A and B are shown apart, each in its own frame.
Chain A
Amino acid sequence: MIREHPLQSVSLAVFACAIIAAIGVGGVLLTDTFSGTTLFSEVFLDLHYLLMNGFFMLAVSLLFVGYYHYQRLVLLVAGLALSGWTLAHVYWTLYVYLASVPITYPSVAELGFQAFYLLILPTLLYLHRHAEIRLRRSLVPIIIAGPVLLAVATIGQPIPIGRFVYSLWYVTLAGASLAIATNLLLSHRFRGIAIGVALFAISDITYTTIAIITPQLTVEFLDPVWYVSATLIAASLLRYEQEGWLR
């Protein structure tokens, strides 16, 4: 019988807390929507961002500690991927607090957000090679679907070309990650990380589409999906290591 390492229990506890926080945020947002109150923006907004950044930092820390303990490079690379997104979100949050206005889109923070995909893509492909999983060609439409959705949503809108090109690039990156994560899901292997990355990518595609066609740059209902996904990615990878699937 394999004895469970405390790191795995901690990562599962963090994931469980993220789900509870997400349910709480969802509940408050629903209450606001149906009763017309502004409870979320007036009372919980600061706590929400604190929790979000906290969960991201915890997920990154768990992966780095995991790398230090197991000396498994995939944990480090996944940790670095998440730390790019975390730093970008910390920057994004601080900017909002400093300037008291949402940051422009795209901004320098986008470098960190896309950095997540730059490393999570090689991580997913590494898992494919490690488990000898074949990539399905039938998943190519998923990669194309994101940019097509964005292009259709922006027809007739006066969007600056730079903004549009960047969004297209970002959605393609997210779409590629979504397709490769779907491939893992269909192969019934590494499902935890696959669900985590897929949710992450869907949130990013949704956010980018909203950000480019509306002036709205804060989409609170997506925030819980991001931090639940991040903690799920960390917990899954640590579980795979514990189970010996990464050896």
Chain B
Amino acid sequence: MAPMMLALSVAITVPLLLLILLVDNPQTRFLLLFFVWGAIAGFLASEINTELLFMFRLSTRDLQIQFAPIVEEFLKALPLFAVAIAARRYLARHEFILAAIFVGFGFSLVENFSFLIRAQDLATIELTQYVITRSVSTTIMHGTATGVIGVTLYHLYNGTLDEFGFWPLFVVYGYCLAVLLHALFNLIVLFEVFGRPVAIASGLVSYLVLWVFLRRYRQLTRTQPDLRAAVPPEKS
């Protein structure tokens, strides 16, 4: 499975990286870069999860609903933390939240392909159902979970939570919430009776929430032109 996952990850990242070199718009480049990281993280997570499975003799179910979300959310959030440390000015823009969602979607793309490879024996109708279900549930869940961390960092940088202090606690909270949402989703999917409908419904509701929030953030950025135009000073 590992060579296939690597091949999938390379097949997605190399064309996208070539595309990034051709794109002039910095915002599009920024978003595509995050998407590429998502695809790389998908491969890395698969490797680490496999190691965990053997190292701690975990059951596949325990891996899915307990350990995988911890590893996956950390890997997905790495570039967000990197930006928060090394290039904070990007946190002032609402596009940062979108970039966080892009990481989740990129991650899910590799994960979906890996599941499809394992589901080769399915009939056409079943396969179509499977693909659609994963596309409107798991993909959105991954985007939402990373988006939670993105929103936390965005608000911390823009001073929304300054009156509370203790900003590292909020960062840890964002990560905890992302892991928990992910684990809860994986747990619900395991329910045979209502797992699939609930997964799809929660995916669609999450998408609606993301859409509403991003619209709101876009308006906020428009009404605060200094956030978009000027490069804010680095916070000490």
Chains A and B form a bound pair: yes
Q: A83 to chain B: which residues have CB within 8 Å?
A: 177
Q: Is A94 an interface residue (CB 8 A)?
A: yes
Q: B164 to chain A: which residues have CB within 8 Å?
A: 73, 77, 122-123, 125-126
Q: Report the separation of the CA atoms of residues A16 and B187 in the bound assembly, to the nearest whole angstrom.
A: 33
Q: Report the separation of the CA atoms of residues A123 and B65 in the bound assembly, to the nearest whole angstrom.
A: 31
Q: Report the separation of the CA atoms of residues A90 and B172 in the bound assembly, to the nearest whole angstrom.
A: 20
B181 touches A108 (CB 8 A): no
B169 touches A122 (CB 8 A): yes
Please tell me the size bucket of the interface on B: 20 to 34
Q: B163 to chain A: which residues have CB within 8 Å?
A: 73, 126
B180 touches A88 (CB 8 A): yes
Task: Indicate which residue in A73, A84, A121 contacts B176 across the interface (CB closer than 8 Å).
Answer: A84
A119 touches B69 (CB 8 A): no
Question: How many contacts A-B (CB < 8 Å)?
Answer: 78
Q: Is A91 an interface residue (CB 8 A)?
A: yes
A95 touches B166 (CB 8 A): no
A91 touches B187 (CB 8 A): yes
Q: Which of A24-32, A60-68, A110-118 contacts B (4 or more CB under 8 A)?
A: A110-118
- A11 nearest CB across to chain B (Å): 22
Q: Is A80 an interface residue (CB 8 A)?
A: yes
Q: B165 to chain A: which residues have CB within 8 Å?
A: 122, 125-126
Q: Is A205 an interface residue (CB 8 A)?
A: no
Q: Which of B65, B67, B165, B181 has the most CB of A within 10 A?
A: B65
- Minimum CB distance partner of A94 in chain B: B187
Q: Is B183 an interface residue (CB 8 A)?
A: yes
- B170 nearest CB across to chain A (Å): 7
A111 touches B184 (CB 8 A): no
Q: Report the separation of the CA atoms of residues A60 and B186 in the bound assembly, to the nearest whole angstrom.
A: 23
Q: Report the separation of the CA atoms of residues A228 and B60 in the bound assembly, to the nearest whole angstrom.
A: 37
Interface bits A75-91 vs B (CB < 8 Å: 1, else 0):
00100100110011011
B190 touches A108 (CB 8 A): no
B173 touches A108 (CB 8 A): no
Given A73-B160, A73-B163, A84-B176, residue A108 in contact with residue B66 (CB < 8 A): yes
Q: Report the separation of the CA atoms of residues A77 and B163 in the bound assembly, to the nearest whole angstrom.
A: 11
Q: A98 to chain B: which residues have CB within 8 Å?
A: 187, 190-191
Q: B65 to chain A: which residues have CB within 8 Å?
A: 95, 108
- B107 nearest CB across to chain A (Å): 18
Interface bits A103-141 vs B (CB < 8 Å: 1, else 0):
000011101101100110111011000000000000000
B190 touches A87 (CB 8 A): no
Interface bits B59-90 vs A (CB < 8 Å: 1, else 0):
00000011101100000000000000000000
Q: Report the separation of the CA atoms of residues A114 and B163 in the bound assembly, to the nearest whole angstrom.
A: 22
Which residues 84-107 of B sit at the A interface, judged by CB distance below 8 A? Answer: none
Q: Is B33 an interface residue (CB 8 A)?
A: no
Q: Report the separation of the CA atoms of residues A45 and B46 in the bound assembly, to the nearest whole angstrom.
A: 39
B166 touches A125 (CB 8 A): yes
- A110 nearest CB across to chain B (Å): 9
Q: Is B220 an interface residue (CB 8 A)?
A: no
Q: Report the separation of the CA atoms of residues A108 and B70 in the bound assembly, to the nearest whole angstrom.
A: 8
Q: B179 to chain A: which residues have CB within 8 Å?
A: 108, 111
Task: Indicate which residue in B166, B177, B188 contacts A84 across the interface (CB closer than 8 Å).
Answer: B177
Q: Is B2 an interface residue (CB 8 A)?
A: no
B176 touches A111 (CB 8 A): yes
Q: B166 to chain A: which residues have CB within 8 Å?
A: 121-122, 125
Which residues 171-225 of B sit at the A interface, judged by CB distance below 8 A? Answer: 172-173, 176-177, 179-181, 183-184, 187-188, 190-191
Q: B132 to chain A: which residues have CB within 8 Å?
A: none
- B216 nearest CB across to chain A (Å): 12
Q: Report the separation of the CA atoms of residues A119 and B188 in the bound assembly, to the nearest whole angstrom.
A: 26
Q: Report the separation of the CA atoms of residues A107 and B180 in the bound assembly, to the nearest whole angstrom.
A: 11
Task: Indicate which residue in B66, B161, B181, B191 contacts A87 across the interface (CB closer than 8 Å).
Answer: B181
Q: Report the separation of the CA atoms of residues A77 and B169 in the bound assembly, to the nearest whole angstrom.
A: 12
Given A73-B163, A107-B66, residue A94 in contact with residue B177 (CB < 8 A): no
List residues of A whose CB falls within 8 A of some B CB. Answer: 73, 77, 80, 83-84, 87-88, 90-91, 94-95, 98, 107-109, 111-112, 114-115, 118-119, 121-123, 125-126
Q: 17 pairs across A/B with beta carbons < 8 Å?
A: A73-B163, A84-B176, A88-B180, A91-B187, A94-B191, A108-B67, A108-B179, A108-B180, A112-B180, A115-B173, A118-B169, A118-B172, A122-B164, A122-B166, A122-B169, A125-B165, A126-B163
3 nearest CB pairs, A to B: A111-B176, A122-B164, A115-B176
